[in-house]
């Protein structure tokens, strides 16, 4: 069987298959059995090629169908799932952060800490109606806290101002029980006399002294009172303490 005849048969096949099953080209094959079988194998080969082409095509459409199926029906669920997951993650993160924040706040909020952030030494020039030229004022301005307390103790007649300066001096010396006594004196005097001299100052510093001494059951109602009184001189200052800090202190105090 010559190569030339094989190629001629292939050409013949190519021409013939346009019209369906190709008729056997008898003039090329003659009675040559090898050529007849070659012709049969060529036809079968073309069938196989077409089968493979069709299979490839259907397989490609199947993939397209399956992709579309997962993209169309479940894709909505997928997007929802993704959004839902993202939302869950965000929510979880927020909760964790919030939880961590609350825990941190809970751990770090203490009467001592609150006292440190709230207490500032009283500026004597702010004292209403007092020029402050006497010795106790001078000792106070110089930060001679022990001297302030001693001078106040030795005064025969103690004014609200004397009690107040002694109370703040005691706070500076971390002697909160002493400070509480001085501030309480002011409030009692005012109550008895009907005056309100150093009343707001006494209340606020008394509350801080209670805080510092850990006496929350007295500190918190006082702070609440100041926070709810917009006319109070220390209302703004007391409002710097957040409700959550007060709540944490209440919880810690077992209230």
Partner 1 sequence: MQESKAYSDEELLMAVSQGTELNQAILYIYKEYCEYVSSFIMKYGGSRQDAEDVFQDTVVAFTDLVKRGRFRKEASIKTFLVSIAKNIWLNEIKKRNRAGSREEKFEQTRDPGEVDVSHYLTEREMKQELSKLLDRLGESCRKILLLFYYENLSIRDMLKELPYENEQVVRNKKYKCLQYLSELVKKSPAVADRIKFE
Which residues are at the interface with partner 1 (CB under 8 A)?
A: 6-7, 10, 14, 17, 37-38, 40-42, 44-62, 64-65, 67-69, 71-72
Q: How far is the CB of 25 from partner 1 (least distance, A)?
A: 16
Nearer residue to partner 1 within complex by CB, 8 or 239: 8
Nearer residue to partner 1 within complex by CB, 10 or 124: 10
Nearer residue to partner 1 within complex by CB, 55 or 116: 55
Q: How far is the CB of 83 from partner 1 (least distance, A)?
A: 21
Nearer residue to partner 1 within complex by CB, 61 or 94: 61
Residue 195 has phi, psi (to 5 degrees) of -85, 175
Cα–Cα distance for residue pair 132/138, rounded to 1 Å: 7
Q: Where are the alpha helices (DSSP H) in the chain?
A: 3-16, 26-29, 33-108, 111-118, 135-141, 145-154, 160-172, 176-193, 199-212, 216-228, 235-239, 243-253
Q: How far is the CB of 3 from partner 1 (least distance, A)?
A: 9
- Tokens 């010795």: give the residue: 135
Q: Would you tell me how many other CB atoms lie within 10 Å of the CB of residue 172?
A: 18
Q: How far is the CB of 59 from partner 1 (least distance, A)?
A: 7
Is the separation of the CB atoms in 208 and 171 below 8 Å? yes
Q: How far is the CB of 38 from partner 1 (least distance, A)?
A: 7
Nearer residue to partner 1 within complex by CB, 6 or 105: 6
Find the distance separating the first CA and the last CA of the chain, reported in whole Å.
110
> What's the distance, CA 186 to chain centroid?
45
């Amino acid at each position: 069987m010559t190569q030339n005849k094989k190629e001629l048969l292939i050409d013949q096949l190519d021409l013939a298959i346009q019209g369906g099953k190709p008729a056997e080209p008898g003039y090329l094959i003659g009675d040559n059995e090898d050529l007849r079988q070659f012709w049969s194998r060529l036809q079968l080969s073309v069938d196989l090629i077409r089968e493979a082409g069709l299979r490839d095509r259907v397989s490609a459409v199947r993939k397209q169908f399956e992709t579309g199926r997962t993209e169309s029906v479940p894709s909505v669920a997928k997007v929802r799932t993704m959004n839902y997951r993202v939302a869950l993650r965000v929510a979880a993160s927020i909760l964790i952060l919030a939880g961590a924040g609350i825990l941190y706040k809970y751990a770090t909020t203490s009467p001592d800490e609150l006292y440190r952030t709230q207490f500032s030494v009283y500026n004597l020039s702010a004292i209403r109606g007092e020029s402050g030229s006497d010795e106790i004022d001078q000792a106070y301005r110089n930060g001679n806290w022990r001297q302030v307390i001693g001078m106040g103790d030795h005064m025969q007649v103690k004014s609200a101002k004397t009690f107040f300066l002694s109370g703040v001096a005691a706070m500076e010396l971390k002697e909160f029980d002493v400070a509480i006594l001085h501030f309480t004196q002011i409030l009692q005097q005012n109550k008895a006399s009907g005056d309100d001299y150093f009343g707001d100052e006494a209340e606020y510093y008394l509350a801080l002294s209670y805080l510092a001494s850990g006496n929350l059951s007295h500190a918190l109602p006082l702070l609440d009172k100041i926070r709810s009184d917009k006319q109070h001189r220390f209302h703004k200052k007391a409002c710097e303490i957040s409700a959550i800090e007060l709540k944490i202190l209440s919880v810690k105090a077992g209230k």
